[in-house]
């Protein structure tokens, strides 16, 4: 059975706006059920462990999907989400692949978290695929290869775009813009229209642009294993 580690944010404050943030529900639920339906074993982790904060906006009616409604009716899945492992307690050796859902939270905590940085570096060094969607590719900003170069340098990637952040009105709130940061690290940043599904694969690195890309990114990750 393929074992996937899903890493969620523990950050719940949207800068100094007084508003809450966290992980985006669709970006968790859509991949979670793609993996479960494929027969994969799913483990959840977050920097602080326990229940990660949900961005309340992501569960508003306009943003609900079949997968988020499936999650809301799934007592076992909700119980599992309430008991995520602490990120510093997990080992890459125990998993075949890693998936990072987004939401705004990751640009505050996972992007700077030493355990997350090491997890990604060791996953890549072990030749295991990894996928990150929406704001989660921002967690790559400090990740380097064995020769000390930025992991994304020269790679094709995507993530939440400047245009999408501007649409959300949060350009001046987030600590950095995912698109700008990845470009600054030498990545080739690809994108499509705002909030359209889009996934980029470069070797073992899979990135998705936005919430609508989270399910397709999980499908792409699964296909990498099916092609073996």
Of residues 96, 158, 99, 153, the one with CA closest to residue 127: 96
> What is the per-residue pLDDT for 228?
76
- The pTM for the full model equals 0.98
What is the DSSP code string of 6-26?
EE-----B-TTSS-B--B-HH
Each residue's pLDDT expressed in tens, for the chain with a length of 228 residues: 999 999 999 999 999 999 999 999 999 999 999 999 999 999 999 999 999 999 999 999 999 999 999 999 999 999 999 999 999 999 999 999 999 999 999 999 999 999 999 999 999 999 999 999 999 999 999 999 999 999 999 999 999 999 999 999 999 999 999 999 999 999 999 999 999 999 999 999 999 999 999 999 999 999 998 887
> What is the per-residue pLDDT for 143?
98
Q: Please answer whether residues 120 and 112 qualify as being in contact, where contact means their C-beta atoms are separated by less than 8 angstroms.
A: no
> Does the annotation count 72 as an active-site position?
no
Q: Which of 11, 26, 27, 135 is flagged as catalytic?
A: 135
> Does the annotation count 27 as an active-site position?
no
> What is the per-residue pLDDT for 226?
87
Contacts of 178-183 with CB under 8 Å at 24 or more apart are 178/107, 178/135, 178/137, 178/138, 181/138, 181/141, 182/137, 182/138, 182/140, 182/141, 182/152, 182/157
Q: Which of 26, 134, 164, 181 is flagged as catalytic?
A: 134
> Does the annotation count 134 as an active-site position?
yes
> What is the per-residue pLDDT for 227?
84
């Amino acid at each position: 059975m393929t074992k996937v580690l899903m890493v969620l944010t523990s950050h719940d404050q949207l800068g100094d706006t007084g508003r809450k943030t966290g992980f985006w529900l669709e970006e968790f639920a859509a991949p979670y059920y793609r993996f479960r339906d494929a027969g994969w074993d799913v483990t959840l982790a977050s920097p602080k462990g326990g229940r990660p904060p949900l961005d309340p906006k992501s569960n508003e009616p306009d943003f609900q999907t079949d997968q988020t409604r499936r999650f809301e009716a799934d007592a076992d899945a909700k119980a599992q989400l309430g008991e995520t492992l602490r990120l510093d307690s997990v080992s890459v050796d125990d998993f075949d692949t890693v998936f990072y859902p987004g939401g705004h939270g990751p640009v505050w905590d996972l992007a700077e978290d030493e355990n997350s940085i090491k997890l990604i570096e060791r996953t890549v060094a072990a030749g295991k695929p990894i996928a990150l969607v929406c704001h989660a590719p921002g967690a790559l900003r400090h990740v380097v290869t064995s020769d000390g170069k930025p992991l994304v340098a020269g790679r094709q990637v995507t993530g939440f775009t400047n245009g999408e952040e501007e649409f959300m009105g949060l350009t001046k709130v987030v600590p950095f813009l995912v698109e700008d940061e990845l470009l600054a690290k030498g990545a080739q940043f690809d994108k499509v229209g705002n909030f359209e599904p889009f996934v980029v694969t470069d070797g073992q690195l899979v990135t998705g642009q936005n919430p609508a890309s989270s399910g397709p990114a999980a499908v792409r990750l699964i296909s990498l294993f099916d092609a073996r």
